[in-house]
Amino acid sequence: MSLIKTSYGRRSFLKTSALAGGGMVIGFSWLASCKPSPEEIANLPKEWFEINGFLKIGDNGMATIMSPNPEIGQNVKTSMPMIVAEELDIAWNNVIVEQAPLNTKIYTNQLAGGSQSIRQGWDGLRMAGATARHMLKQAAAQKWEVPLEEITTENGVIHHKKSDQSLGYGEVASLAATLEVPKEVALKELDEFSIIGTATRNVDGEKIVTGKPLFGIDQYKEGMLIAMIVHPPAFGMKLKSFDASEVKKMPGIKDVFSIKTYEDGFNKSMFDADAFPELVVVVGNSTWEVMNAKKALKTSWEPFEGYEDVFANFSGDGTFSKSVPAGAENTESHMEKMEELSTKLAKEVRKDGDPEKAFKKAAKIIERSYTAPFLAHNTMEPMNFYADVTADKAVLSGPIQTPEFMEKSVAARIGLPLEKIDLQMTRQGGGFGRRLYGHFVVEAAAISQKMKSPIKLVYTREDDMTFGNYRPAYHARYRAALDENNNIIGFHVRAGGIPESPLFANRFPAGAIDNYLAESWEIASNISVGAFRAPRSNFIAGAEQSFLDEVAEAMGKDPFDFRLELLERATTNPVGEKNDYDAKRYAGVLELVREKSNWSPESTNNTYRGVSAYFCHNSYVANVLEMVMEKETPVVKKVYCAVDCGIVVNPIAATNMVEGGTVDGIGHAMYSGLTFKDGKPIQTNFDRYRMIRHKEAPKEIEVHFVQNKEHPTGLGEPPFPPIMGSLANALYKATGQRHYNQPYITQKKVVS
């Protein structure tokens, strides 16, 4: 039996309160929401005591879990309540979950990002459910006048087997609410789980497929106007002037004006990234009328001078600045600059042994470079937000991954105290990092304040694809030194990008090679970038895993054997002390996928295979990709995935995330890219920006999870990076050509 303290960090998660209608409330942080079914609604208690951040038990035994977490498709609305229900020991069909409003006084980390929701919530969620169950048992023991240790629970029913008595949770909820919260409670043993580890359907699934209004774009309020923005056509430019005289006469148009998203001197958070601080706004009665007015608007733009953009750190304990140079940038010059820097000495990030000596005495040196372009997020749901700002209150609602941060930014921008801001979260039709950056939320608030009317701000696809916050462009140069016996004696990576480096210096194969050097460089840019699914890992994993395959071939080794030999070294005699991966777990996913795929490095039945593995967001993923060539076109037939993310809370949701990340990774590596000419994005919509198509997705994805007792770790992002390496390695086998530059579709032997 394991015990857990009923406080977590600096905040207490627990407190009790008597309900007006009888019952028990236990407050805690980091829960997610689901919605009641019609059957559950019919069985609701007559009265719920509404309060943020609480587990509520009604007098009929129903339990409600309220959620502060944004839902962006990662299915925490189902998985996180499962954890609470498990420790509460209540039947899942007696659980109702509601979305909690934003409340920074109660919750911490009301954020969706970094694949951290389950990992960070695990202890707190279990503790909340276990504490409620303990107090209910204590109340029953007091009612029956029997020892607490003789009390058991099952599916929301309390039993005393010696006296053959039982009662439902609701029958003692009011009494339990009067008891003192225990200092520690017992958690279930893992083999006692009956909800965690069972496939549980997405609680919003039916509403999603039947088109129920769950998303921000669905919102409609009486008297609401539609607003759209017009931003500079190129990065490096700013607004000079505009003429709205004719546009204001167009049908349905209410006003046209300019705004600054953030006023001069605004103290930005790291999520206030904004390429174009001054915008022209068109407001009207309908989307169609506003879109027509945008096209007719006459605008003039001019270059801006370079500047330093200052942001507050995530932790709030300091600031960092970002250089924003002047000038119109081009993809061609980007590639030239990156290639040039990749050949020069750069910032040394890690050095083990004497890599210079190893390369000097090497019998053979393998050197390869890899590149990837800027990428747009392209969330399925267009960027949007609703705002109704009055003199004494602001109500905002929509899809945002960082509501806590944006609430503060809105308050500062419109000049209202934080307690006057009511920011409500809707379900999000995709995020992938794009909705971490809430400039559009601030814009909506500023527009509503100006119009003195409720508005819904909507970005067209072109608005979003040309606005920025892209995945950065990257470059990595790898070198490996081999001795006369084809043993690896040195490894060197020099990686950088625009405007950040993708390097993780302490990840594999660091720790597995005696002589190791990692260097990093960056190029400042006025093209705004942001987190993209599995930031930095989404490039460096594919580059690293492609290079390791090429080194293995030069050494005459099977690619699995080569990786496992390195990981054995990192396990038994690691180099350095900063290695940020568990070599045994890393090797474990490789061994599992080799077994499940019945690996053979040789082509059989004209099927070509590539392997890859990577560690990020505290999880390990390995895959084998199978490809065939059909009329000179590569077709991905099957992908085997092995995943170690600790305890799997909801297998069906976990499988879905692995499948989605796999398809996403193949699509971006194979087809996607954003290029620039004179600061202008060339790909402004899906007619030019290539996404993966249904027929190009793998015909089958087979997912296997490592069974262990490790606490859950991230899963939204880890399946995304490694698939790019196995794709490149399979392409080599299928075409005889190595693929170094994404998107791979542009290379000669790979045709659409």
Q: Residues 261-292: pLDDT tens digits? A: 999 889 899 999 999 999 999 999 999 999 99
Residue pair 421/390 in contact by the 8 Å Cβ criterion: no
Amino acid 120: pLDDT = 84
DSSP string, 411-427: HHHHT--GGGEEEEEPB
59 & 115 share domain? yes
Instruction: Indicate if the alpha-carbon torsion angle 331, 332, 335, 341 is positive or negative.
Output: negative
Query: Taking 50 as the threshold, does the pLDDT of residue 100 lie above it?
Result: yes
574 & 431 share domain? no
Counting residues of the chain whose pLDDT is more than 90, the rounded percentage is 76
> How far from chain centre, in Å, is Cα 567?
28
Query: Which range among 241-250, 318-327, 695-704 shows the weakest confidence by mean pLDDT?
Result: 318-327
Query: Taking 80 as the threshold, does the pLDDT of residue 21 lie above it?
Result: no
392 & 245 share domain? yes
| Alpha carbon distance 749, 578 (integer Å) | 41
- Residue 68: pLDDT band by 50, 70, 90 thresholds? low
Higher pLDDT among residues 748 and 544, named by residue: 544
| Alpha carbon distance 677, 372 (integer Å) | 17
Query: Taking 50 as the threshold, does the pLDDT of residue 179 lie above it?
Result: yes
| Alpha carbon distance 452, 441 (integer Å) | 16
Q: Is residue 751 part of a domain?
A: no
Amino acid 227: pLDDT = 98
Higher pLDDT among residues 553 and 176, named by residue: 553
| Alpha carbon distance 345, 19 (integer Å) | 67
Amino acid 173: pLDDT = 86
| Alpha carbon distance 611, 730 (integer Å) | 8
What is the arithmetic mean of pLDDT over 657-683? 98
368 & 382 share domain? no
273 & 398 share domain? yes
Pairing of strands 455-458, 421-425: unpaired
Query: Taking 50 as the threshold, does the pLDDT of residue 30 lie above it?
Result: no
Q: Is residue 77 part of a domain?
A: yes
Assign 3-class secondary structure to 696-707: HCCCEEEEEECC
Amino acid 148: pLDDT = 96
- Residue 255: pLDDT band by 50, 70, 90 thresholds? very high
Q: Is residue 664 part of a domain?
A: yes
Residue pair 630/699 in contact by the 8 Å Cβ criterion: no
Query: Which range among 54-68, 619-633, 640-654, 678-692 shows the weakest confidence by mean pLDDT?
Result: 54-68
| Alpha carbon distance 105, 531 (integer Å) | 27
DSSP string, 130-161: HHHHHHHHHHHHHHHT--GGGEEEETTEEEET
543 & 558 share domain? yes
Q: Which amino acid is at 546?
A: S
112 & 160 share domain? yes
Instruction: Indicate if the alpha-carbon torsion angle 396, 125, 201, 89 is positive or negative.
Output: negative
622 & 501 share domain? yes
Amino acid 43: pLDDT = 61
Domain ends where: 184, 208, 232? 208
| Burial classification of residue 709, based on how many CB atoms lie within 10 Å of its CB (0-12 exposed, 13-18 middle, 19 or more buried) | exposed
Q: Is residue 278 part of a domain?
A: yes
Q: Is residue 319 part of a domain?
A: no
- Which residue, among 585, 626, 588, has the nearest Cα to 605 in the 3D structure? 626
Residues 6+ apart with CB under 8 A from 550: 366, 368, 738
Amino acid 19: pLDDT = 39
Question: Which 3 state secondary structure label does DSSP give 688?
Answer: coil
Query: Taking 70 as the threshold, does the pLDDT of residue 390 lie above it?
Result: yes
Domain ends where: 208, 241, 263? 208
- Residue 8: pLDDT band by 50, 70, 90 thresholds? very low
**What is the greatest pairwise CA distance in the chain?**
86
Q: Which two tokens stand for residue 682?
A: 């060339």
What is the arithmetic mean of pLDDT over 63-89? 85
What is the arithmetic mean of pLDDT over 699-720? 96
Amino acid 734: pLDDT = 95
Residue pair 198/71 in contact by the 8 Å Cβ criterion: no
DSSP string, 273-297: --S-SEEEEEEESSHHHHHHHHHH-
Residue pair 371/338 in contact by the 8 Å Cβ criterion: yes
Rg (CA), the chain: 28
Counting residues of the chain whose pLDDT is more than 70, the rounded percentage is 91
| Alpha carbon distance 342, 523 (integer Å) | 11
145 & 290 share domain? no
> How far from chain centre, in Å, is Cα 475?
23
Domain ends where: 404, 431, 465? 465
Q: Which two tokens stand for residue 478?
A: 């790898």
| Alpha carbon distance 697, 624 (integer Å) | 15
Q: Is residue 329 part of a domain?
A: no
| Alpha carbon distance 219, 213 (integer Å) | 7
| Alpha carbon distance 316, 302 (integer Å) | 35
141 & 119 share domain? yes
What CATH number is associated with residue 445?
3.30.365.10
Q: In what order do the strands lie in the sheet with 384-389?
A: 253-260, 278-284, 225-230, 455-458, 384-389, 394-398, 421-425
Backbone φ and ψ for 611, nearest 5 degrees, come out as -120, 155
- Which residue, among 464, 3, 400, has the nearest Cα to 215 in the 3D structure? 400
Question: Which 3 state secondary structure label does DSSP give 384?
Answer: strand
What is the arithmetic mean of pLDDT over 721-726? 98
pLDDT by residue (tens digit) across 662-671?
999 999 999 9
pLDDT by residue (tens digit) across 205-218?
888 899 999 999 99
Amino acid 1: pLDDT = 62
Q: Which two tokens stand for residue 140?
A: 């029953």
- Residue 29: pLDDT band by 50, 70, 90 thresholds? very low
- Which residue, among 361, 405, 175, has the nearest Cα to 273 in the 3D structure? 405
pLDDT by residue (tens digit) across 302-311?
999 999 999 9
State the total domains in the chain: 3
Write down the mean pLDDT value for the chain. 90
Q: What is the DSSP letter of 192?
A: G
Question: Which 3 state secondary structure label does DSSP give 362?
Answer: coil
Residues 6+ apart with CB under 8 A from 471: 374, 375, 376, 377, 529, 532, 538
DSSP string, 55-71: EEEETTS-EEEEE-S--
| Alpha carbon distance 281, 440 (integer Å) | 12
What is the arithmetic mean of pLDDT over 164-193? 90
- Residue 53: pLDDT band by 50, 70, 90 thresholds? very low
Residues 6+ apart with CB under 8 A from 145: none
Other beta carbons within 10 Å of 47: 13
Residue pair 575/516 in contact by the 8 Å Cβ criterion: yes
355 & 391 share domain? no
- Which residue, among 608, 643, 641, 637, has the nearest Cα to 624 in the 3D structure? 641
Q: Which amino acid is at 383?
A: M
Q: Is residue 224 part of a domain?
A: yes
Q: Which domain holds residue 518?
A: 335-375+470-746
- Which residue, among 280, 327, 282, 325, has the nearest Cα to 300 in the 3D structure? 280
Residue pair 105/418 in contact by the 8 Å Cβ criterion: no
556 & 639 share domain? yes
Q: Is residue 66 part of a domain?
A: yes
Amino acid 181: pLDDT = 83
Residue pair 527/714 in contact by the 8 Å Cβ criterion: no
| Alpha carbon distance 358, 118 (integer Å) | 44
